[in-house]
A and B are shown apart, each in its own frame.
Chain A
Amino acid sequence: MKKYLERIVKLCFIMLFTLPIVAKAQTEQDGLMMGEKRLCIAGTYAYNSWENYWEGEFKRNNANIGVLSTRTAALMLNYGLRKNLNIMATLPYMSTVASQGTLSGLKGFQDVSFFVKWRPVKKQFGKQFLSLFAVAGYSTPSNNYNVDFMPMTIGMGSRVLNGRLTADYKFNKIFATISAGYMHRGNVSIDRSAYYTDHQINSSSVRMPDAGSFQFRTGYRNTRGFAEVFVDNMTTFGGFDIRKNDMPFISNRMNSSKIGLEGKYYLKSLPSLGFHANVWNTIAGRNVGQAAGFLTGIDYILDFPFKNSKK
Chain B
Amino acid sequence: MKKNLTLSIFGLAMLVLSCNKDVVESNADYQSLNPATQDLNGGTWKPFIVASLSGNLFPDPLPISSSSYQEELKELKVLSSNLSAEQKKAIDYWKAGSVLRWNEIMRELVAKHNIPPYQKEDNTYPAPSAANPFSYPVFPFSNPPYAARAYAYLSLAQYDALIMAWKYKTLHNRPAPYKTDLTLSVSVPKTDLPSYPSEDAVISGASLEIMKLLFPADIEYIKKMAEQEKNYRLWSGANVQSDLAAGDSLGRWVARQVVQRAKTDGMATAGGNPAIWAKLESDCIARGETPWISLESPKRPPMLALFGKVKPLLFAQAEVASLRAIPPPPTNSDQMRTETNEVLKFTQNATRENMRIVNFWADGVGTYTPPGHWNAIATNEFIKGQFSEIRWARNYALLNSALMDAAIVCWDTKYFYLNARPCQLDPNIKTLTGVPNFPAYISGHSTFSAAAATILGHLVPQKAADFTAMALEASNSRMFGGIHFRSDCQQGLVTGKKVGDLAISRAQTDGAN
Contact = CB atoms under 8 A, between A and B. Distances in A.
A194 B352 CA distance: 20
A82 B1 CA distance: 10
7 contacts: A146-B359, A149-B433, A161-B12, A161-B16, A191-B355, A194-B376, A207-B21
B19 A186 contact: yes
A64 B435 CA distance: 11
Interface of B: 1-2, 5, 8-9, 12-13, 15-16, 19, 21-27, 104, 107-108, 111-112, 115-118, 136, 295-298, 347, 350, 352, 355-356, 359-360, 362, 364-368, 373, 376, 423, 429-435, 482
A104 B373 CA distance: 24
A125 interface: no
Given A191-B359, A203-B24, A103 B297 contact: no
A208 B19 CA distance: 12
Nearest to B355: A146
Interface residues of A, number: 48
Interface in A122-140: 134, 136
A134 B115 contact: no
Contacts of A64: 296-297
A180 B114 CA distance: 39
Nearest to A100: B297
A200 B107 contact: yes
Contacts of B368: 194, 196, 200
Nearest to B481: A104
A206 B433 CA distance: 19
Contacts of B136: 244
Say whether chain A's binding surface is mostly helix, strand, loop, or mixed: loop
Given A102-B295, A247-B434, 15 more contacts: A85-B1, A104-B431, A146-B355, A149-B355, A184-B19, A190-B359, A194-B376, A196-B366, A200-B107, A202-B27, A208-B21, A245-B117, A245-B118, A246-B115, A246-B366
Contacts of A148: 359, 362
A136 B8 contact: yes
A246 B434 contact: no
A283 interface: no
Contacts of B430: 102-105
A132 B75 CA distance: 69
B434 A200 contact: no
A193 B376 CA distance: 9
A64 B116 CA distance: 13
A101 B300 CA distance: 13
Given A146-B352, A243-B115, A192 B26 contact: no
Given A104-B431, A244-B118, A245-B116, A203 B26 contact: yes
